[in-house]
Amino acid sequence: MRSFRFSRLSRLSQLSRLSLSFALAASLMIAPAASRLAHANDDTNSTTSNVSTTATATANTTTTASQALTTWTQRLHDASVQQGQPVVLVVHLARDCLYCRRWQATFGGEGDFKKYAKTHPDVRMIVIDRATLSRPEIAEDYPEEVRWLYSKNEQHDALQPGTPLFEVYVAQTPVWRSYGIASWDTAVMPAVKDLDNRRTTAVSSVN
């Protein structure tokens, strides 16, 4: 009888040890799987967050560019030009800028402006041509009549702009600004002509 009880207790003990072994093995298998699942969720959340951040940044850049264009369009619309007051085009270039050289070519934008200015003496152009894109403009790059602009740009840390940069000034006040030769025919020269004709129209109405 005692032998039977001992044998039964021994089997129960073995079963208990087996149960503990299975439980431990199961926990060891489940833990890595749970960890991988957690990492996968983290990666998914990170990817979603990065995509969302990129989309937000793109939207903000587009909005900023649109707002800048609206601001310059409004400035141009609101500008007034008095009789005899010059409309000054300031062009920022660099000698190693391919697009700048293209704008200065025989049939480029510079030639168009000079041709127009021959019959419109109150329209002027000033070129600021720095040595290289890799360094900022220096005072010597600015003709004497626009040294005030150098001081202003130095104060605002704006001496290394993208090129070509076109700025239109009336009474030392910027009324238009845009980058790239693509903007020359569509925005810059039309802005200059609009300001010049606006003054001419105003003078004609007085006469």
From residue 18, give the alpha-carbon distance in Å to each of 7, 25, 28, 205.
Answer: 17, 11, 15, 107
So what's the pLDDT on residue 150? 97
Same domain? 2 vs 53: yes
Predicted confidence at residue 178, as pLDDT, reads 96
Shared domain for 106 and 65, answered yes or no, is no
- Rounded to whole angstroms, how far apart are CA atoms 118 and 121? 6
For residue 199, the model assigns a pLDDT of 78
How far apart are alpha carbons 28 and 133 in whole angstroms? 62
Could you say which of 59, 78, 97 is where a domain stops? 78
Question: How many domains does the structure of the chain reveal?
Answer: 2
The residue out of 21, 53, 78 marking a domain boundary is 78
CA distance 32 to 29: 6
Joined together, the tokens standing for residue 44 give: 């998914």
3-state secondary structure of 174: strand
| Domain encompassing residue 153 | 83-206
Is 72 found in the same domain as 99? Answer: no
Residue at a domain's end among 78, 104, 139: 78
Which tokens hold the place of 32? 């890595």
Taking the C-alpha atoms of residue 16 and residue 131, their distance in angstroms, rounded to an integer, is 86
Residues 99 and 21 in one domain: no
Identity (one letter) of the amino acid at 32? P
Give the pLDDT confidence score for residue 40 in this predicted structure: 46
**Looking at the chain, how many residues does it have?**
207
| Separation of alpha carbons 43 and 45, rounded Å | 5
Distances (CA, A) of 14 to 19, 32, 51, 71, 121: 9, 28, 56, 85, 109
Residues 59 and 23 both lie in one domain: yes
Indicate if 93 and 7 belong to the same structural domain: no
Give the CATH number of the domain where residue 145 resides.
3.40.30.10
Taking only the tens place, the pLDDT of each residue in 151-183 is 999 999 999 999 999 999 999 999 999 999 999
Low-confidence ranges of the chain (pLDDT < 70): 1-69, 200-207
User: Does 101 share its domain with 39?
Assistant: no
Pair 178, 119 in one domain: yes
Q: Report the C-alpha gap between 119 and 108 in whole angstroms.
A: 19
Same-domain status, 122 and 135: yes
- Whether 204 and 128 have beta carbons less than 8 Å apart is answered as no
Same domain, 68 and 131: no
Instruction: Please indicate, yes or no, whether residues 89 and 189 belong to a single structural domain of this protein.
Output: yes
Q: Mark whether 100 and 200 lie in a shared domain.
A: yes
- ∠ CA 187-192-198, nearest 5°, is 120
